[in-house]
Structure 1
Amino acid sequence: MHVHTLFDMSGKVVLVTGGSRGLGLEMAIGCGEAGAEVAITARRETWLRAAEEEIRARGINCLALTCDVSQPDEVNATVATVLERLGRVDALVNNAGISWGAPAETMPVEKWRDVLATNATGCFLMSQAAGREMIRAGGGSIINIASVSGLMGTAPEVLDAVGYAASKGAIISLTRDLAVKWARYGVRVNAVAPGFFETRMSEGVVKKAGHTIEQMTPLGRIGGPGELKGVVLFLVSAASSYITGQVLAVDGGMTAA
């Protein structure tokens, strides 16, 4: 198979949660640039419509849907709408996520539950709903967006968000277990663990501890625009057809140091 064919997503449908801004929008655009139709979800209608316009302006067919991934009924309705409007779900990118910064000893349990509900439970619910369709169709690819916080501890001076770290660790374990359970159906499940990127969610951390983060990173810098979409495209495409159950750190070498 020619290398261009390996990465060609023509005729495929990719569903990206948390796709209205930041890294999620970048991933959706990357899949669309490779020929896929994309469906994006977000909780905020305003951001969602702006993202939809940006994607369509690039000549990419896009379906935008509001969805709270922590709510089973909304998740099931979202996947059903994608199937009704676009006909299939070939790949799912579980990117929706939130964080709450507080010392572990004082973090409100309600905020802990909120973070776990969106990040970990939401990842499971979307995987369950889309995975059922992929099993029925004979295959597919699920990419769970984890974090280096799920692979390593972080000094509180850099990032003090124990619920976020726990949720990303849960996503990594979920990835490995689903990969083993669903391999027999042709469904591949992998995770991407980004390091520190300049996004709306991380801007406070980068502003406060950017110099320290750069010192922790062998490449000596924060992640930049475009440095994740190629990774996600690789994992959703035929180029990674023999890869499942893996966690790919995109972190400038941070977890290797």
Structure 2
Amino acid sequence: MVADVSNEPAVIAAIDELEAALPPLAALANLAGVSSPVPYLELTSDEWHRVININLNGVHYVTHRVAQSMVKHAYGRIVSVSSTSAQLGGGTYSKTPYSVAKAGVLGLTRALARELGPHGITVNAIAPGPIDTDIMGGPLTPERREALVDTLLINHLGQPQDVASAIAFLMSEDSAYITGHTLNVDGGLYMH
């Protein structure tokens, strides 16, 4: 299914269709996100809303609809991708609206862990650091790659598989007693 996560009616319609075709929804990974390199003093209202609508409102719209189904079955795993930018107040590429939206994801994660836990649903977040993907602002030059690695405690950038493995763990039965947690997948950036 394809839907614009910032469009709540489209999200609801897509999940309704998905749910009609498959067994009950058991797990959700909120992965959609966009970056924004625009400095705060140059930020337009349109850019602010674009980033917040996809990175935070989209997480809410999808999670709200999926949680309704999970509660009916008294089981679920929800994992949302935030960012170390939420914890550090900025990132290597994205600026204020991105950090604000990703911080909102952390708050939403904790609040939902409290509300949904009694229904057998765990809710956690992943906070990636520099991961070698397009959201870093396009292809990395060797100089930019080296500068990013210098901010880490280990000597390489993260790969998408590093994030995927963390999400898989938080969706597994091995994590049944973990909820309301933010797992940093960041090469030690947050400690640096």
- Confirm or deny: 8 A CA contact 1:123 1:171 kept in the other structure: yes
Counterpart of 1:82?
18
Letter in 2 for 1:144: S
Gaps of 5+ in 1: 1-64
Q: Secondary structure at the match of 1:124?
A: helix
Q: C-alpha root-mean-square deviation of aligned residues, in Å?
A: 1.5
Matches within 5 A, 1:10-21: none
2:96 is the alignment partner of 1:162: yes
Residue 225 of structure 1 and its aligned partner are, at CA, apart by: 4.6
Structure-2 separation of matches of 1:90 and 1:154: 33
Structure-2 separation of matches of 1:219 and 1:179: 31
Counterpart of 1:142?
78
Structure-1 separation of matches of 2:167 and 2:18: 20
- Confirm or deny: 8 A CA contact 2:89 2:96 kept in the other structure: no
Letter in 2 for 1:102: V
Matches within 5 A, 1:61-80: 65-80=1-16
Residue 66 of structure 1 and its aligned partner are, at CA, apart by: 1.3
2:136 is the alignment partner of 1:202: yes
Counterpart of 1:114?
50
Question: Percentage identity across aligned positions?
Answer: 28
Runs (4+) off by over 6 Å: none
Q: TM-score if structure 2 supplies the norm length?
A: 0.94
Higher relative contact order (Cα pairs below 8 Å, separated by 6+ residues): 2
Gaps of 5+ in 2: none
Q: Which is worse superposed, 218-227 or 230-239?
A: 218-227
Q: TM-score if structure 1 supplies the norm length?
A: 0.71
- Confirm or deny: 8 A CA contact 1:82 1:89 kept in the other structure: no
Counterpart of 1:179?
113
Structure-2 separation of matches of 1:199 and 1:224: 8
Residue 87 of structure 1 and its aligned partner are, at CA, apart by: 2.3
2:154 is the alignment partner of 1:219: yes
Q: Secondary structure at the match of 1:93?
A: strand
Residue 101 of structure 1 and its aligned partner are, at CA, apart by: 1.3
Structure-2 separation of matches of 1:246 and 1:174: 11
Structure-2 separation of matches of 1:235 and 1:98: 23
Structure-2 separation of matches of 1:168 and 1:134: 24
| Distance change >3 Å, CA 160–CA 98, structure 1 → 2 | closer
Residue 201 of structure 1 and its aligned partner are, at CA, apart by: 2.0
Structure-2 separation of matches of 1:170 and 1:209: 28
